[in-house]
Structure 1
Amino acid sequence: MEPLMNRRAFGALGLGTLAGLLSARLGLAEDVATSVGPTKGIIVLWLRGGPSQLETFDPKPGKRIGGPTRAITTSAKGIAIAHHLPQIAEQMQHLSLIRSVVGQEGDHERASILMKTGRRPEVALSHPSLGAVCAHELDVAGTEIPRYVSILSNDPTSRGGYLGQSYDPFRVGDPANPIQDVTPNVGDARQQRRLEALEVLENGFARERPEIDRRTLHRERTERAIQTMSSTQLEAFDVEQESRELRRAYGDHPFGRGCLAARRLLEVGVRCVEVALDGWDTHIDHFDKIDSLCRPLDSALATLVKDLRDRGLWEHTLVFCGGEFGRTPRINGTDGRDHWPTGFSVVLGGGPLAGGALIGETGIEATDDEPKDPVPVADVYATLLCGLGLDPATENMTSVGRPVKLSDGKPIERLLKA
């Protein structure tokens, strides 16, 4: 038997098709408010490809493994970083640096899953990324648009996992461009007629297929998509509303605009925004590429920290910057660095996290593969959860009835303010 609302009838509505497409993209989280705390959300700056710690936050000037990179002092006592990042150096007193992160994966996809979920990949279970957890666990607070947004990335490791597709991120490109699938292509009167026709079809489908209607949450997702399409909160994506001076400070590039949009999105209630900066997989001509990669990172991250502080948002927002792994101390035969999951760097701050702290130390030889004070990826993940006011021991139930903790990691107490 054909379903009452078949493809032809639904497609004829136009608006129904648009709302359906949007609802699939939005990652519209169900209204679950299980935690209300002072930290309202997190901005993840994802350096896709595996950034080199030696050319960013753990330089080794004058050493064979260090290459031509110089070290510069920062506003944080005892912390020096690469000369490619002078603006970030000025903000390091507000950030903490872990130089000894250790993972167990050297493949891009598997390592990305580990970093974003705090767990190694499993065949039988897809774990949700941090953004999905935020959308599921943190207070809704009147947010009408998706609470998990991914900018400049189609990375499938950002996902709802066992929480369901409704917690997948809403993906957008450069904020300089209009958002797709959110603007009706007809006038208000015709749109209203389509909505009324859609309601007739929805009611009929619910009568004839009640179990499917309940299981798929089709009506709820469509209603939320329509709500999003009419929400003024979508204006948060429009970075042109900010001053020219501030836009210039973030940087006239997609990553800078993405970071500015991230701040605006958190102001209207989005709980996690990922902004991706691609190109860090530098197996070849590594040193020729580093400057062009660090330049947008430097302006965007430094201005984001300053902007959040200026607007009184720093105590309510976490910022995390890192990638799936680091790069080898050894320079290969094509003047590049290869994958290195042992002893790489991440930067984090905001909310209840300490500023100006330094954890871990890596060696000065190419063969040094055991950092001092190693920090497992799971512990970094658990620390971020605690910074968001979430208990890593909180359990969610999978679709097959398996209870799973948010994290098996141990929070890094040194980074959590008393």
Structure 2
Amino acid sequence: MTTYTPRVKPVPALRETDDAQLYRKVLLRLIPVLFISQIFAFLDRVNIGFAKTHMTGDLGLSAAQYGLAAGVFFVGNMLLEIPSNLWLHRFGARKSLFRIMLLWGLVSSATMFVRTPHELVLMRFVLGLCEAGFWPGVLLYLTYWFPAARRANAVAICLLAPTAAGVLAGPLSGWILGNLDGAAGLHGWQWMFLIEGIPACFVGVLLRIYLPDGPRDAGWLRSDERARLMAALADESAEGRGSGSHTGFDRAHWRTTALFAFLLACVLSGVFLNVFWLPTIIREAGVHGDLRIGLYSVVPYLVSGLVMVLVSRHSDAHGERRWHFAGSMFVAAIGLAMIAQGHASLAIALPGICLLGSGLSAALAVFWALPPAYLPKSSLPGAIAAINMIGGIGAMAGPWLIGLLRDRTGSVSLAMAPFCVLLLIAAICAVVGTRKRSMIREPL
């Protein structure tokens, strides 16, 4: 007797397991080198915060001039953000990221030669020009590998790099400033820029050698794995077109892009006023000594990194972005209010810094999962760059305005108080402005 056995359909759970293993393989291959490059990108942006006190005396730097030097980086960054991202999309990630890292490493190290506040401002502007397009380039590069439903976790891991850089920057910069001051006739801050700038050049070479431009060029993937990755991304693109997205921008897309740019400006104004003035806040709270200030600065970065991972995973698990973003911004506003009220007490200021950093880090991780869900895929290269470019206004204005208010009030912590309102406005705009149903799909 012949027994008929029907063909068994693939079990969804098995397919999900296979996909999870595939994306884990991609993560383990790509993210470590991107993570390392992000560490040096953040380190070379913010190490000026630890050098501020020393440069103030050596260069005759006022608080407003320091704020301008810290913020003008983002002016140069904005000018070349879109061209750099379009270059990456056309010529590939390997060439673009190599060029960016090599140039910014050289310019960051050359900051050791500045002699006046004006030269410092100019060098920071040039540094912004050289680094333009790096972070939006990384974001765009991730869209070549991960569909929207799996991308937030990859972005969050990359966003852990600033946390790692913050943990590294405090003790390292503090040690250099405290122990190498006067060595070979150079100030400690000169050694700091030299030692922390050169490694970016070597990492750029590593990217050029190691990084594939996309799944099609990844020799470490099997042919079936490569096909599955490309099919998942193609399906997502087709779904976007089928759900009413267009290859160009209509008025609604421009409004959405403007909203995201405003939200990012609010986030970055808080992120970088916190980053650039963190050592000063800790010093005003009663901590003295470069190494001690550096060690205390590690605490907020560790807390922020943990919270960011938890929030981004929870957001991915529930497929929800807007309330996670808004709630994170609300927490950041509470932290900023604590700093403003308890600026002279480490017991109040340090928890406030932790809340501020945690809220902003979580909001930033969730934020970058929003544009691909609300904008047509074909417009993402220009849209991501435009959002990041306009959002950079907040990164520029935050540190500069804090410097101006610091000169008037005498306290950087009190100068932060008005930014509480800005963070709350961003939370409200995120909830109201992204009410339409997200295009994010459940994992395949």
| TM-score (norm. length: structure 2) | 0.23
| TM-score (norm. length: structure 1) | 0.24
**Higher RCO, Cα 8 Å, sep 6+:** 1
Higher strand share: 1
Higher helix share: 2
